[in-house]
Amino acid sequence: MEGYRRCRWRLLPALLVLFLAACAASQPSDPARLGGEGGVYKLGRPYRVGGRWYVPRFDPHYEEVGLASWYGREFQGRRTANGEIFDPRRLTAAHPTLPLPSLVEVTNLENGRRIRVRVNDRGPFVPGRVIDLSEAAAVALGFRERGLARVRVRFLALAEAAGTPPRPETVAAAESGICPTAFGYVVQAGAFRDAARAGRKRERLAGLAPARIVPASVNPTSPLYRVQLGPFATRAQAEAVRARLAKLGVEDAFVYLARGETGETGSCPNQRTVAERERE
């Protein structure tokens, strides 16, 4: 009996640590762990990585489902895209288009864990991935060992930083004079009157490519929710995804050039690669 008591008391600290870790993963994150020292507000111009264009945009209603990855100690001490120092122990993230810095809620759809992170960097640049998290964020969400997780990312607010914050609905391309074809091709996989149905469709298709819901203001009394995949740099890439959708039974999907532009990406003299922008 005495041995049992000693063993029980030794287990209590370990059980307490596990309990606190589980609570932290399901509650809003500690602001002190979000970092932010030395950061400035930044939206940035459209840029191209791996043949694909990314257009930074301030969309207060942003919400997207896709794959999350993580990056860690090999980048420790480096400057992020908005000038902060990367620390893998902080709850931070990289996103290709959100304004910097932003606060977003990330939910691991595979285990239900939910945290808030500070977006202060650009990336990831892999099809289907919507956010690149710090090592600490991957631990909190429970997918560090696996490397990838299916998540929902929801914009909460701009984070605190120096400088002038961008305005809602600001689109970088509109301010930079870049060729409008940079917005790329989009695959519309469905349109629904019911937001819940649109959400289920988006989650089902998020493994193919970045998926989002775009409300259409056709009739204010009867909103329409469009499920879109992309954008893609070329029509061929978008058509390949449309063909895959057809095999999954989504036969009414169609491809169009976002915002009504015409022409193949690559034909505009204002288009610049990341390396070209960094040399400026």
Q: What is the pLDDT of residues 109-163, one digit of tens each?
A: 999 999 999 999 999 988 789 999 999 999 999 999 999 999 999 999 999 999 9
Q: What band does 221 get if pLDDT is binned at 50, 70 and 90? A: low
3-state secondary structure the chain: CHHHHHHHHHHHHHHHHHHHHHHHHHCCCCHHHCCCCCCECECCCCEEECCEEECCECCCCCEEEEEEEEECHHHCCCECCCCCECCCCCCEEECCCCCECEEEEEEECCCCCEEEEEEEECCCCCCCEEEEEEHHHHHHHCCCCCCCEEEEEEEEEECCCECCCCCCCCEHHHHHCCCHHHHCEEEEEEEECCHHHHHHHHHHHCCCCCEEEEEECCCCCCCEEEEEEEEECCHHHHHHHHHHHHHCCCCCCEEEEHHHCCCCCCCCCCCCEHHHHHCC
In this model, does residue 10 exceed pLDDT 60?
A: no
Strongest mean pLDDT among 17-21, 179-183, 208-212, 261-265: 208-212
Q: Which pLDDT score is estimated for 143?
A: 97
In this model, does residue 262 exceed pLDDT 50?
A: no
Comma-separated ranges of CATH 3.30.70.1070 domains in the chain: 185-260
pTM: 0.58
Among 7-11, 19-23, 268-272, name the one with the lowest average pLDDT: 268-272
* 185-260, CATH topology level: Alpha-Beta Plaits (3.30.70)
Among 16-30, 128-142, 208-222, name the one with the lowest average pLDDT: 16-30
In this model, does residue 53 exceed pLDDT 50?
A: yes
Please give the class, per CATH, of domain 31-173.
mainly beta
Mean pLDDT rounded to a whole number for the chain: 77
Higher-pLDDT residue of 85 and 235 is 85
In this model, does residue 13 exceed pLDDT 70?
A: no
Q: Which pLDDT score is estimated for 31?
A: 56
In this model, does residue 71 exceed pLDDT 90?
A: yes
Comma-separated ranges of CATH 2.40.40.10 domains in the chain: 31-173
Q: What is the pLDDT of residues 174-211, one digit of tens each?
A: 333 334 334 578 899 988 888 889 889 988 888 888 88
